[in-house]
Structure 1
Amino acid sequence: MSRDVDSPGGALKRAAPGFADIDWSMPWFAQVATRGVRWQQAALRSAADQLHEMNADAASAAVTTGRGKQLSFIPQDELPTGTAYEAHIAASGCVPTRHNLHDFFNALMWFQFPRVKAALSARGSAAVDVLGIGPTRGGTRDALTLFDENAVLFACADESLAAALHSFDWKTLFVDQRAAWGERCEVRCFGHALLEKLVTPYKACTAHAWIVDVPSAYFSWPRASRDAFLDETVARALLDTSGFSARMFAPLPVLGIPGWWRENEAPSFYDDVSVFRNGRRSRGTPDVKIPASKAGQAVAASAVSAGEGEESPDSTGQGDG
C-alpha cells in the first residue's frame, strides 16, 4: 500500500490532489505564502473548509469586485446555467470556485492584487455586456483571460532592461545584468494558471510579462508597499488602456529569473534556444524603442508574434477563471 494511504494525512492528500505538493519556500509563492499555508490546510480537510477560510478572509478584508460588490466565494455548481463567469462575479460579487489548485490560486490573487482582479472583472463583464455570450469571445476577453491566467508583473526602473525583455536579449537580461535584479527590476507572479503550473516547475514554463514602469525608490520600499503600488498602477492601466489585446505582452521564461532556480546560476542554462528563443531578432526586426519612463504608469510590452517563446495559458473551461 502506498505511503500516502499508510501515513497520517494520506487520505487527505488523495481527496485533494496537488494541495500537499505546494512548496511554499519557492520564490514565486513567497508573495502569498502566509495566507496560502492556512488555506492549504483547510483545502486538505475539505472543499467546504476551503471556502469557509476564503470567505472569512473576504469578509474581514472587505475586498470588492469590478462593480463594487463584496467579494465572496461559492461552489462552482452554484454558477447559473448560461451565465458568463465574469458577468456573475460582476453582478453578485460571488466567485465560482472549484476544489482544485487552479481556483485556489485564483482566489489568492483576489487578496494579493485586489484592484487588478477587480479591473479585469470590470472589463471582462463590460465585454460580455457588449458582445454577449457566443462561440467567439473576442480579442479583449481573450487578452484579459491571458492576463488573468498567465501574466507576471515586470517592475522595472531601467529602460535598458525593459528593452532587453522586449527584444529577447536574454544574455543581457539574465547574465550581464544579473545584479540588477532586486535593484532595478523584479517580477511578481499574477496568473493563477501560471502559479498552478509552478507547483511542478519545468524549464520551458513561460509567462506573459506586463511591464510596469516604477521609480528607482520603489526597490527600497517594503514588499507590501511595492505590491500596493503595482496593484494600483496596473489596475488603472487595465481600465484606461484602449485597444487592449494579447499582443501587448512579452514572453518571459520564469525559471530564468535570477534567484528563482538554482540551475540558472550557470550561464550555460540560457543556451537552450528551445526555451530562450531569439524571437523577433531572428527575423531582423529592429528592437523596440522604449518611451521615456513616467513613474506610476504601466508600460505594455510590444507586439509578440504567436509562438515566439510564448506558452498559452491552461484551458479551464471556466472563462476567465
Structure 2
Amino acid sequence: MSSNNLKNSNNTKTRFMAPVQWSANVLSENPIFNDLCQRYPLANWANWPALTTLNHWLEHSDYKLVDNAVLEQDGRYYEQFIYETGRVPTRLNNWHDLFGAGIWGLFPQTKALLNQLHMAEIAVHGLKQRSKLRNKLTLFDECGVIICLEPAAFQHAELLRAHQWQQSFVLKRSDWWQVIRPIIFGHAIYEMATRPFLGLTAKCLFLSVPTGFSQWPLTDAYRFLDKKLTQQIANGALLLDNQQLTPLPLLGVPKWWQGNCSADFYKNTGYFRPLTVKK
C-alpha cells in the first residue's frame, strides 16, 4: 500500500468508515495484517468468509460464532449472551466482526477471560455504570497492541511511555522484530488499518517474553501470549496499571508502514506527540 494513499486525520472530520466491499488486497498489501494472513488464508478469498469458515478459527475454543441476528432476537446484553451461551454474535460481511473472530481464534483463553471479567464487574456495578476496569477491558479489547519485550529490549517500554519516539523507532530501530515484537490484539485497530490514516493510535500493553521470542513460529508465539495474558489479566491489576495502555502511533512501528522508513516521518509532532506533563 502506497504512502500516497495515506489519509490525514488532521484534515478531515469525517467518521472512520471501513471499505464496504470485500477486498483481499486490503490485507495482502498492508504489512500490519501479515500475522493474520499467515494464520488464516484471508488473502486467498474472493468474497467475505461464511460463518462456518470463521468457526474453524475457533476450533481450540469452547466458544462458537453465531449470526448477530440471534442476539437481536434474544434481547440479552452482548457480554451476558456470550457468558451464558458460549456463543459470540457476529455480523456477517463486516470488517470489525471479521477481525473480532480472528482474535477469538488467536487468543481464545484471553477473550473468554475478558468476557468473564466484564460479567463480574456488571454483577457489582450493574449495566448502566461502567467501572474503571470495564473501560480498561474494552480499551484493550478494541485498541490493544501487545509490545513483547525480550530482556534486551526492556528499555523500549520506558521510551514509548515517555513518547521518546525518535529513540525507539529511529535510533534503536534495529531492535524491532529482533528483540521487540508487536502483536495486535485490538480488533478495532485491525479494522482501522484497512484505511490507514495519520492519527491511527493504539494502546500498548507491555509484556516480558523469553529471549528469542521474536523469532518463534506464529503458532507458538500466540499460544504463549494467550496463556500469559490470561494469567496476568486474571486479577485485573495488569490493565489497571497506569504504566500500561499508553499511546502507540501505529504507523510509526517499523515495517508496518513504508512511509516510516525515513526519519523525517517521525518529525510530525501532530502524530508523534511529545509527552504532556500534567501539572
TM-score (norm 2): 0.83
Aligned position for 2:54: 54
Cα deviation, residue 217, structure 1: 2.6
Per-residue CA distance 1:27-61 (angstroms, 9 max, x = gap) = 22111114251795452xxxxx6212123443xx2
CA deviations over 1:207-263 (Å, ceiling 9, x no partner): 001001112232342222222211111121111333844843110011101111111
Bigger drift between 152-161 and 73-82 goes to 73-82
2:134 equivalent to 1:141: yes
Please give the alpha-carbon distance, in whole angstroms, between the structure 2 residues aligned to 1:179 and 1:39.
32
Tell me the amino acid that sits aligned with residue 68 of structure 2: Q
Partner of 1:304: none
1:60-75 counterparts in 2 under 5 A?
61-64=59-62, 71-75=63-67
| Residue in 2 that maps onto 1:277 | 273
How far is the alpha carbon of 1:177 from its aligned partner?
Answer: 0.1
**Deviation, structure 1 residue 264:** 0.7
The 3 A distance-change label for structure 1 pair 182 and 207 is: same
Which of the two has higher C-alpha Rg?
1
Q: Which residue is equivalent to 2:4?
A: none
Give the superposition deviation at 1:115.
Answer: 1.7
Of all paired residues, the percent bearing the same amino acid is: 28
Question: Secondary structure of the residue that 2:194 maps to in structure 1?
Answer: coil
Root-mean-square deviation (CA, aligned residues, Å) is 2.2
- Establish whether residue 218 from structure 1 lines up as the match of residue 223 from structure 2: no
Q: Is the 8 A contact 2:27 2:43 kept in 1?
A: no
Q: Does 1:24 align with 2:23?
A: no
Residues 1-321 of structure 1 aligned to structure 2 (within 5 Å): 17-20=20-23, 22-33=26-37, 34-35=39-40, 37=42, 41=46, 43=48, 50-58=50-58, 61-64=59-62, 71-79=63-71, 80=73, 82-99=75-92, 100-134=94-128, 136-157=129-150, 158-242=153-237, 244-245=239-240, 247=242, 248-280=244-276, 283=277
Give SS of 2:50's match. Answer: helix
Query: 1:266, 1:249 → 2: CA distance?
Result: 27
Question: 1:172 & 1:246 partners in 2: Cα distance?
Answer: 24
How far apart are the structure 2 equivalents of 1:177 and 1:195? 26
Letter in 2 for 1:88: F
Whole-angstrom distance in 2 between the partners of 1:176 and 1:117: 35
How far apart are the structure 2 equivalents of 1:219 and 1:251? 22
- The answer to whether the Cα contact below 8 Å between 1:146 and 1:246 also exists between their aligned partners in 2 is no
Query: Cα offset for 1:102?
Result: 0.7
From the superposition, tell whether residues 219 and 55 of structure 1 become closer, same or farther in structure 2 (CA, over 3 Å). Answer: closer
Is the alpha carbon distance of 1:36 and 1:125 closer, same or farther for their aligned partners in structure 2, counting shifts above 3 Å?
farther
Q: Distance in 2 between matches of 1:170 and 1:126?
A: 37
Q: Normalising by structure 1, what TM-score?
A: 0.73
Shift of 1:132: 2.6
Structure with greater contact order relative to length (CA < 8 Å, sep ≥ 6): 2
CA distance in 2, matches of 1:208, 1:74: 29
**Which string of whole-angstrom CA distances, capped at 9 and with x for unpartnered residues, describes residues 168-217 of structure 1?**
10011100000001111010111111100000111210000100111223
Q: Could you say if the C-alpha distance between residues 170 and 19 of structure 1 is closer, same or farther in structure 2, counting changes exceeding 3 Å?
A: same
SS in 1 for 2:147: strand
Whichever residue aligns with residue 116 of structure 2, its letter is: A
